Copies of this chain bind each other. A is one copy, B any other.
């Protein structure tokens, strides 16, 4: 049992980062690209510039939101949640080491596989199927998971339209609105567009799922040096600001959705702009993000245990081992996703 967790930031340093996040929210503001969200936020005291769709949030309101929202409960299956992969478009055939687009039968096989992997807590389809109409691939994935997964799962919701389809499925599966509300069978990874933009589809889906108390994982993806500042601390402050903006919006909605403040950040290869999933700086960032989320009383999850390697080589092992175990040592509640390679895109990216 861990008695003393790894922690690279002092309380004072955490507070300086979060002070910066509060200042970004109050002084710089974010673009909320959906009129109804602007209405909601203005009604709760935010400063709204309608033409620019810019919202500045009083620190007091954000602090109320942090204190008032329900944090997603820490996992009972301590030490960790390990996630099945779900973001890649492609799959690597083990025997030929070649890359090909994901298919629906892969998804079905992966759901069955994950049912039997006792160390994976959260299931998914492993890959996005591309032998179905891509605009509604999320509906096909959700269908498979509802039908076959024996574990809780996470999956994409692409649009408000497919979101309504997923809600309809969830209502059918759980048996009714009250059951759906209690089951928390859906969840949403809400991804602001860095820097400082809350896109319409995200706000619509958050609003829909919030009506049914479904968990929402705020998961901005600041990429250090390109979409975010070049400094690690600056990017962490931006990441936290964007996540807290989502939290504050849910609070203004009066939502009972449990919330997590996630951290799928990336660093950049500055020669190419390519996002890096496993640079050493990224482990430092994730240690800081876990500390910041815990400081606010929320659980955090990061893209740890991943790699930038495109094949199962030394680099792949080194990056996974190092980044995964550091997050474990720092008390991160979730480590994932397993089974991903090459920054989520597979061989030959």
Contact = CB atoms under 8 A, between A and B. Distances in A.
Contacts of A326: 325, 329
Of A315, A320, A321, A326, the most chain B CB neighbours within 10 A belong to: A321
Interface residues of A, number: 25
A318 interface: yes
Nearest to A11: B3
A313 B325 CA distance: 19
A5 interface: yes
Nearest to A314: B317
A322 interface: yes
A5 B8 CA distance: 8
Interface in A274-329: 312-322, 324-326, 329
Contacts of A316: 314, 317
Contacts of A315: 317
With most chain B CB atoms within 10 A of its CB, the pick from A10, A314, A315, A319 is A314
Interface in A18-74: none
Contacts of A329: 6, 326, 329
A272 interface: no
Interface string A189-213: 0000000000000000000000000
Nearest to A4: B7
A314 B320 CA distance: 10
Contacts of A117: none
Contacts of A8: 1-3
- Sorted nearest first, the 6 A-B pairs with minimum C-beta distance are A317-B317, A321-B321, A317-B318, A321-B322, A4-B7, A314-B317
10 contacts: A3-B9, A4-B4, A6-B6, A6-B329, A314-B316, A317-B318, A321-B321, A322-B325, A325-B325, A326-B329
Given A313-B314, A322-B322, 5 more contacts: A2-B7, A4-B6, A6-B6, A314-B316, A315-B317
